Amino acid sequence: MQRIQLDAPEPIWLDDPKAVAGVVRGLRESKAPVALDTETTGLDITRDVPLYISLATPEIRVVLEAQNAEPLRELLQDEDAILVAHNWKFDAHMMANIGIPIRAKAHDTLVKAGMSDSSRSSLKLKDLGVSLYGADDPASIRYGDFASIFGRPGKGETAGDLLKKAPRQLVVDYVANDSWLTARIDRTLNTQLQRITNWRGMTLWDLFVQVEEPFTHLLWDIERQGVKIDVAKLEQLKVEWTRRIEELEKEFASIAGRPINLSSPSQLRQYFLLDKGLTTNQFTNGGESGEMRQSTGKASLALWAEQGIPEAKILQQYRELRLLRSTFVEGLLSKRDANDRVHGTFNQVGTETGRLSSTDPNLQNIPTRTDQGKRIRECFIAEDGNVLGVRDYDQLEMRLAAAISGDPVMIKIIREGKDIHSGNAAIAFDVPYEAIMEAIAAKEAKQQLTDEQKQLLVFRFRAKTIGFGTLYGEGLLKLAGQLGFDISTDEARKKAITEARKIRDRFFSSFHVLLADVQRTHRLVEKDLFVQTLMGRIRALPAAALRDTPAYFKALRQAYNTRIQGTAADIAKLAMLRIWRDPDIRREGGRLLLQVHDELMVEMPKLTSQSVFERMGRHMQESYQDMGVRLPVPLTSGGGIASNWAEAKQ
């Protein structure tokens, strides 16, 4: 076990409600932040419940059984109280599951740790304790993971079962440790946040209080509500896709002349690369052996399908349907609650750029690009009498790149209401904008394209690829691959990089102000070793000090990506807060349900849907103003209202 160098008060076991009430009175009178931690029957945020609850300040730590938790209600529902937890939303769900929803201020040390130093190698509670206070102390608390203290659950057992069987003092010591360490870490992180000032003159503590603390409550709220799914339609898709998967296996075997396991990479390599003699510029990463082999992955299948290889098209369909069936159909059905709603977990510090991530299930990864994938979105529905309103920002990151860089050409394109990628292509490659838009319309109408139209679409694709490559910090080799050049050999890669550089240089000859902003950002991160979003969130990039190393170049790429994508994440976050707090939206029955990066979803009654939807759009357009900045381009959004996600998105 690991030792943390801190002196802790002895844990106190509270075995009756009167004792709990007495401690609660003392904690409320002190007005000090109180840390809470729960030991639970499991990790499901809607089904599991606490077994033990611990409360702590740096000076006291107590433990009680969940059956004695009722006196905590007075403290936990005091909106002026500060409740500290590591992964606050989880503990709040556990308390809500026993009928005590938390209204106190949400001070999550997980969020504070990510804000104060985004380069931390781990945000786990005990790892933070070691990094902040050291690991060498012969007289301090013994920390270990659950299994090292209580063992691993046997067949049919849960971690909760092991806690129930363990000696009480061992349980008390273990349970009390996390809340007390959380209380100490919180005090340390508060000091750190109060000492760090961003470009707006705000401390990160101010940013936490104004944005991140209420946002934790918001995320808890949307997790709690969940999204309704159409169970009957999902069951129907499962049957339909299972049948089609079996048919595809038979079709492949018929062409191949023998049965082939379509889930076996080795059998697929044998068939496509050796038996059929096909080639590809895509390679495996080498695995443990380090031997890179030609791949039968997604990009290779796309290439062979374009060449008219029927087996490649069959395998594409097979893989898509297998993924949709297992991950989305079966996954969603297994996660639904008694009301047929699924409750994902949104991770507030899920990515270093500031974007949210989602897990268990991942509601931000619902497919959209294929016809079959879109059928999954049809299964996300509104309750009877309600509809879903879905709005998506229009090319948000490219608009922010124009605004932040001040590139006059990009700004002009956006102000004229043009499609940004087509407008960029028209200027960079000197082709008519209207002709590009006509080519797009012809493709969407599935008309036969002329050679000229195909070339125009190539120009737009190149402009889009270079534009996003700039925002995402992609190098020339990756850009070359995305542009479709052969990168299968050293000689081919050299040639591809040369061609990609020519195309990129031509693009930036028209958008040199954007390029200058990228270069300026690189110089700043070399000097400061961090980068900031427009809202003033800070991302540490210490590797920018390691000149001319792979880590250094990666840090430069991450710097501009964070400025743009991180600001986009901030704007979406501020829009969510506006919508969630809007008393008119609440009064009219609107409820924020979901965020998928630049896309927001609200459920609302049919009768008030138009009003709620319009207010939602205004909040999305104006949320950047809460950062105290002006932008030279509008942030527009589009979407629709319907009974299911797919139709609202169209």
Between residues 488 and 99, which one has the greater pLDDT?
99
Asked whether residue 534 carries a pLDDT value surpassing 90, the answer given is: yes
Q: Please check whether residue 366 lies inside any domain of the structure.
A: no
Q: Please check whether residue 255 lies inside any domain of the structure.
A: yes
Amino acid, single-letter form, for residue 258? R
Which residue in 587, 590, 645 sits closest to 613, CA to CA?
A: 590
DSSP for residue 391: E
DSSP string, 71-121: GGHHHHT-TTSEEEETTHHHHHHHHHTTT----SEEEEHHHHHHHH-TT-S
Region 404-414: mean pLDDT is 96
pTM, whole model, 2 decimals? 0.91
Do residues 36 and 97 share a domain? yes
Asked whether residue 138 carries a pLDDT value surpassing 50, the answer given is: no
Which among 215-219, 347-351, 544-548 has the top mean pLDDT? 215-219
Do residues 15 and 162 share a domain? yes
DSSP for residue 222: H
- Percent of the chain at pLDDT exceeding 90: 73
pLDDT attached to residue 643: 97
When mean pLDDT is compared across 117-131, 258-272, 288-302, the lowest value belongs to 288-302
pLDDT attached to residue 136: 59
Contact 21, 36 (CB under 8 A): no
Contact 175, 190 (CB under 8 A): no
Of the three residues 296, 318, 339, the one that is the final residue of a domain is 339
Asked whether residue 352 carries a pLDDT value surpassing 60, the answer given is: yes
Asked whether residue 414 carries a pLDDT value surpassing 90, the answer given is: yes
Region 437-441: mean pLDDT is 96
Do residues 425 and 324 share a domain? no
Do residues 107 and 121 share a domain? yes
- The CATH number linked to 558 is 1.10.150.20
Do residues 440 and 463 share a domain? yes
Full domain range(s) for residue 617:
371-395+570-649
When mean pLDDT is compared across 69-78, 95-104, 291-300, the lowest value belongs to 291-300
Amino acid, single-letter form, for residue 143? Y
Structural domain count, the chain: 4
Going by pLDDT thresholds of 50, 70 and 90, the confidence category of residue 142 is low
Going by pLDDT thresholds of 50, 70 and 90, the confidence category of residue 489 is confident
Going by pLDDT thresholds of 50, 70 and 90, the confidence category of residue 290 is low
Going by pLDDT thresholds of 50, 70 and 90, the confidence category of residue 139 is very low
The answer, yes or no, to whether the previous bond of 634 is cis (omega within 30 of 0) is: no
pLDDT attached to residue 144: 66
Contact 265, 257 (CB under 8 A): no
360 membership: H or E segment, kind and range:
none
When mean pLDDT is compared across 127-131, 333-337, 532-536, 632-636, the lowest value belongs to 127-131
- The CATH number linked to 304 is 1.20.1060.10
* pLDDT (tens digit per residue) in 540-579: 999 999 999 999 999 999 999 999 999 999 999 999 999 9
Contact 349, 357 (CB under 8 A): no
Asked whether residue 1 carries a pLDDT value surpassing 50, the answer given is: no
- The CATH number linked to 376 is 3.30.70.370
pLDDT attached to residue 470: 82
Region 13-17: mean pLDDT is 92
Cα(477)–Cα(17) distance, integer angstroms: 65
* pLDDT (tens digit per residue) in 455-474: 999 999 999 999 888 887 78
Do residues 575 and 504 share a domain? no
Do residues 170 and 254 share a domain? no
pLDDT averaged over every residue in the chain: 91
Angstrom CA distances, 153 to 49, 156, 160, stand at 18, 8, 9
Angstrom CA distances, 277 to 172, 274, 280, 510, stand at 66, 5, 10, 44
Asked whether residue 137 carries a pLDDT value surpassing 50, the answer given is: no
Asked whether residue 281 carries a pLDDT value surpassing 70, the answer given is: no
451 burial type by CB count under 10 A (0-12 exposed, 13-18 middle, 19+ buried): exposed
Region 518-526: mean pLDDT is 95
